Structure 1
Amino acid sequence: MSNASDTIILGRIGAPYGVKGWVKINTFTDESTGIFDYSPWLLGPAHKQVTVDQWKSHNNGLVAKLSGVDNRDQAEMIKNLDIAIQASQLPELEEGEFYWRDLVGMQVVNDKGYNLGSVKELFETGANDVMLVQANFNDAFGQKERLIPYLMDQVILDIDKASKTIKVDWDPAF
């Protein structure tokens, strides 16, 4: 149905809940119930399209009844499948805002023109978000990876989507 790069994984189907086809939902969204803002869902590598008939909070988690899943056996068959959506379902961002997925693969260059490498991934820490930058093969400072704080206007000076470059105030020796 779609290319994997055109989809975003928002969660995973958990264990069956009850006998009427309900399943537990493990969500990767910032706000746990935010996963229900999107429809349809694409399940597993085949991207089988499903809609959520009902959902509710249960204890400290979420459970949902999906279309076409009407008993415990069917719920067991979709257990552990990823829940994805089409990237086009994400809301449009304001100027100067970026989805992390848009930053992965961009070149990171410091304010003196030194190419630090490319963004491998981003992740959250307690204090701030961090970019994991894979250093270039011939890095003059012998670095393989760098952890660079994602702090706009302090460390991150500019993000140019057209040239796929992130300009940073960062010493290449770190």
Structure 2
Amino acid sequence: MSDKAQPIEIGKFGAVYGIKGWLKVHSYTDDPESIFQYKPLLMKSNGAFQEVTITEWKRHNKGFVAKVAGYDVREEVQALVGLDLLVDPSGLPELETDYYWRDLVGCQVNTDKGYHLGVVTDLMETGSKDVLVVKANSNDAFGQKERLIPFIEEQVVLNVDITGQLITVNWEPDF
């Protein structure tokens, strides 16, 4: 099974909340509330995926708390603290673009002049613009091991070829 077919982490259970089996929920989705719309929602426990049903949820401070089916007391729900929440890729919503961020990780990055800059290892959200984290091979002739390249389409990021795993950028290689 390819990495793209593996369930995708979209959140995590946090600390126990109250005595009636509620937990804090940390959402990693663009719209934080949308974590509760994914079906089926999975949790990963001891390396195995298990379907989980959220019966109720509500906003609490800057986050959320939720009630999980089958867990009614604080001591029972304590076992879920820290578990990842995941969704099958087929359950993801339609895209406005042709790819998710996770699709960019592992892509080679070349300049429009043919210089190889490295491989995308991560993406960062900075508030004003997203940033590609590109790590160069240790044999990189330019000496840098990591570059932060702003993800500004048409100006910096000229082409994204997910099938070919290649991103072409208008970026100087920093000799």
| TM-score higher than 0.5 | yes
Gaps of 5+ in 1: none
Q: Which residue of 1 aligns with 2:88?
A: 86
CA distance in 2, matches of 1:84, 1:134: 27
Please tell me whether the aligned partners of residues 16 and 24 of structure 1 are also in contact (alpha carbons under 8 angstroms): yes
Gaps of 5+ in 2: none
Q: 2:15 aligned with 1:10, yes or no?
A: no
Distance 1:69 1:39 in 2: 19
- Post-superposition shift, 1:91? 1.4
Look up the SS of the partner of 1:47 in the other structure.
Answer: strand
Residue in structure 1 matched with residue 135 of structure 2 by the alignment: 134
Question: 1 CA distance for matches of 2:3 and 2:18?
Answer: 32
Query: Residue 60 of structure 1: CA displacement?
Result: 2.8
Q: Within 5 Å, which residues of 2 pair with 1:123-162?
A: 123-162=124-163
Q: CA deviation at 1:20?
A: 2.1
Displacement of 1:3 in angstroms is: 7.6
After TM superposition, the structure 1 stretch with the greater mean CA deviation from structure 2, 51-60 or 117-126, is 51-60
Q: Which moved more, 1:31-40 or 1:112-121?
A: 31-40
Counterpart Cα distance in 2 of 1:123 and 1:59: 25
**1:16-165 equivalences in 2 (<5 Å):** 16-44=16-44, 45-94=47-96, 96-165=97-166
Letter in 1 for 2:50: K
Where has structure 1 moved over 3 Å in runs of 4 or more?
A: 2-5
Q: Provide the aligned C-alpha RMSD in A.
A: 1.8
SS at match of 1:30: coil
Per-residue deviation, 1:92? 2.5
Deviations 1:101-132 (CA, angstroms, capped at 9, x unpaired): 00000010100111111101101113211001
Q: Which segment is superposed worse, 130-139 or 101-110?
A: 130-139
**How high is the TM-score relative to the length of structure 1?**
0.91
Q: Which amino acid aligns with 2:81?
A: K
Q: Deviations over 1:7-52 (max 9, x none)?
A: 1111111122222211111112222211111122211232221111
Q: Which amino acid aligns with 2:22?
A: W
Alpha-carbon distance between aligned partners in 2 of 1:111 and 1:160, rounded to the nearest angstrom: 14
CA 1:58–1:126: 2 relative to 1, 3 Å: closer
Aligned equivalents of 2:15, 2:58: Cα separation in 1: 15
Equivalent residues of 2:99, 2:162 under 8 A apart? no
Q: Percent identical across equivalent pairs?
A: 49
SS in 1 for 2:139: coil
Query: Which amino acid letter does the alignment assign opposite residue 94 of structure 2?
Result: E
Structure 1 SS opposite 2:30: coil
Distance in 1 (CA, whole Å) between partners of 2:160 and 2:140 is 22
Partners of 1:126 and 1:137 lie apart in 2 by 30
